[in-house]
Structure 1
Amino acid sequence: MNPEPHRPPHMSLGKSPVAANASRLPGIWLLRTDDIISGSPSADALAKLLSGEERARQRSYRSEDAQHQFLLGRALMRRVLGKLSGTQPEALRFSRLPSGKPLLENAPELHFSLSHSGRWIALAVSESQAIGIDIEQPQKPRNFARIARHYFHPQECALLDAPPRELMPIHFYRMWTLKEAFYKARGTGISEGLGRVDFSGFHLGEGVQFASDLPGRELPWQFFYAMYPLRDTSQLHLAVAGVDPAIADLSAKAIRRGMA
């Protein structure tokens, strides 16, 4: 695995040993799909952690890359949640709530969310509080204005249209990942309406605005966003949302590389 050389001073994406306070939550774990090579002994060992149903789902993906990404995502969940719950990773049992949000039956007090984009996989875990995470590693050009007009709040569209135009991609991915993380934490999915929450003032410290008819808008929602430059000249956009008060204070100490 090659650590990324272009990093902001507050964050390292290099692999590091598990900290003594690794169980402090909420926490975020990041993994690159080439950290563990497909078909390697390490990958084969991780495959043994998966349930029969998970292995069947892995085989259902047509491409080797997709199969490998699924394997690493499930193995990351099992290794991290197993360590936090004091359970062998292969013994973890998962089910789903009526909303479709996953549940860890062995330790239902642990809330978790998984996301992947490009070569990256991210896991967020919180104790006793709902949490959602979303990452985006841009892979191709997008018509940001057209997408925003279809999905975003009018104030967010106005931000994208405002100069300087070179900031449009950053504004877009910040708001997009925050929205995705928010609806993952809610367990409802983006079908509730991405435009019902307005993140146009978030980067200025002006908070978040919710539609007056959005259920749960009165909860103490917290948000975290960061953008990390990558060696291939793209960026990794990362957002976390939930009602855990500590989410707003997340820092590099809460972000770990690998399957700690």
Structure 2
Amino acid sequence: MATVIECERLADGDGLMAMGVGRWRCRWLVDVGRWRPSPAEFQAAAAVLPPHDRPAIHRFVREEDRKRALVSRLLKYSLVHHALGMPFHQIRINRTLEGKPYLNKNVNLLPGFNFNTNFNTSHQGEYVGIASEPLCLVGLDIVCISKPQRETALEFINNFTSYLTDHEWNCIVTADSHDGMLTEFYRYWCLKEAFVKATGAGVGFGLQRLEFHHMNWTNISLCIDGEEARKWMFWLFKIDEMHLASIAKGHPEDAIDSFRRTLSDVD
């Protein structure tokens, strides 16, 4: 993997880098904008994947989308290979109906091992990331703070009011500038997406049920339907001037049923 693209590691909340905290807890971040493969190099990278997972890459029309799709799949296979020592051709990654990736249980898994991956398909998005945890739910989201082209920041954010609580909306609109409002909005959005990805709920979960509180974007906490979710932890990172990432970690009991059935151990 490292011979194909340059990888960076995303720090966890304890300040340790991913590879320093154990084989099964990983935070990998790839700047796909810096990888400019020739057609032959792209095909060579795709050939690393098992044959059944290659056609999905070529369904994308745009080169940048194909590149993100390839890197996303390479990260998933590399993570499982790194954590469990499985050769690529033996790895079988499935998805729940809601789109949550999971490893086929017909292998000798570390109890509770699961992973979640996200890649940003925005034309401004330059990063693909993956996160894994051995014994808890994990969700990763990456957002690009893109400025709307045909409307003001407030008009753009107004499109998402049904996904925000009154508290979150007030925090957003009281920012000191339009750029500040956009950044505040994307912070909340990034955290909400990380949570629903961790539980496996996906877009079917009502994001307005989630309300985040923080102290200058540290000590982030979550209330679900007005009740504090004490078994969840969140981190928010600034990747660069245009990109944010968030990580959500929680107890397996909060996984939705379709994803819980894929876990080896939910105790």
With the length of structure 1 as denominator, give the TM-score of the two structures: 0.75
Letter in 1 for 2:201: T
> In 2 relative to 1, CA 209–78 (structure 1 residues): closer, same or farther, beyond 3 Å?
same
Out of 219, 228, 232, the position equivalent to 1:221 is: 232
**What is the alpha-carbon distance in structure 2 between the residues aligned to residue 160 and residue 24 of structure 1?**
38
- Determine the structure 2 residue equivalent to 1:152: 164
- DSSP-derived class of the 1:29 partner: strand
**What is the alpha-carbon distance in structure 1 between the residues aligned to residue 95 and residue 239 of structure 2?**
32
- CA contact under 8 A between 2:32 and 2:126: conserved in structure 1? yes
Q: Which has the higher contact order (CA 8 A, sep 6+)?
A: 1
- DSSP-derived class of the 2:194 partner: helix
> In 2 relative to 1, CA 218–199 (structure 1 residues): closer, same or farther, beyond 3 Å?
closer
- Flag structure 1 segments of 5+ consecutive residues without an equivalent: 5-10, 245-260
> In 2 relative to 1, CA 84–238 (structure 1 residues): closer, same or farther, beyond 3 Å?
same
- CA contact under 8 A between 2:221 and 2:229: conserved in structure 1? no
Matches within 5 A, 1:158-237: 158-165=170-177, 166-201=179-214, 203=217, 205=219, 207-212=221-226, 220-229=231-240, 234-237=241-244
- Determine the structure 1 residue equivalent to 2:262: none
- Determine the structure 2 residue equivalent to 1:27: 26
- CA contact under 8 A between 1:198 and 1:209: conserved in structure 2? yes
- Determine the structure 2 residue equivalent to 1:250: none
Matches within 5 A, 1:1-260: 21=20, 23-39=22-38, 42-97=41-96, 99-105=98-104, 106=107, 107=109, 109-117=112-120, 118-141=125-148, 142=153, 143-165=155-177, 166-201=179-214, 203=217, 205=219, 207-212=221-226, 220-229=231-240, 234-243=241-250
Letter in 1 for 2:71: L
Letter in 2 for 1:211: D
**What is the alpha-carbon distance in structure 1 between the residues aligned to residue 130 and residue 220 of structure 2?**
27
**What is the alpha-carbon distance in structure 2 between the residues aligned to residue 90 and residue 137 of structure 1?**
34
Q: Deviations over 1:58-82 (max 9, x none)?
A: 1111112211111111011111221
Letter in 1 for 2:242: Q
**What is the alpha-carbon distance in structure 2 between the residues aligned to residue 219 and residue 96 of structure 1?**
28
> In 2 relative to 1, CA 92–197 (structure 1 residues): closer, same or farther, beyond 3 Å?
same
**What is the alpha-carbon distance in structure 1 between the residues aligned to residue 203 and residue 129 of structure 2?**
19
**What is the alpha-carbon distance in structure 2 between the residues aligned to residue 140 and residue 164 of structure 1?**
16
Letter in 2 for 1:228: I
**What is the alpha-carbon distance in structure 1 between the residues aligned to residue 220 and residue 134 of structure 2?**
27
- Flag structure 2 segments of 5+ consecutive residues without an equivalent: 9-14, 252-267
> In 2 relative to 1, CA 22–81 (structure 1 residues): closer, same or farther, beyond 3 Å?
farther
- Determine the structure 1 residue equivalent to 2:12: none
> In 2 relative to 1, CA 163–100 (structure 1 residues): closer, same or farther, beyond 3 Å?
closer
- The offset of 1:25, in angstroms, is 4.6
- Determine the structure 2 residue equivalent to 1:251: none
What is the number of residues matched between the two proteins? 227
- Determine the structure 2 residue equivalent to 1:258: none
**What is the alpha-carbon distance in structure 1 between the residues aligned to residue 220 and residue 58 of structure 2?**
46
- The offset of 1:195, in angstroms, is 0.9
Task: Please give the root-mean-square deviation of Cα atoms over the aligned residues, in Å.
Answer: 3.1
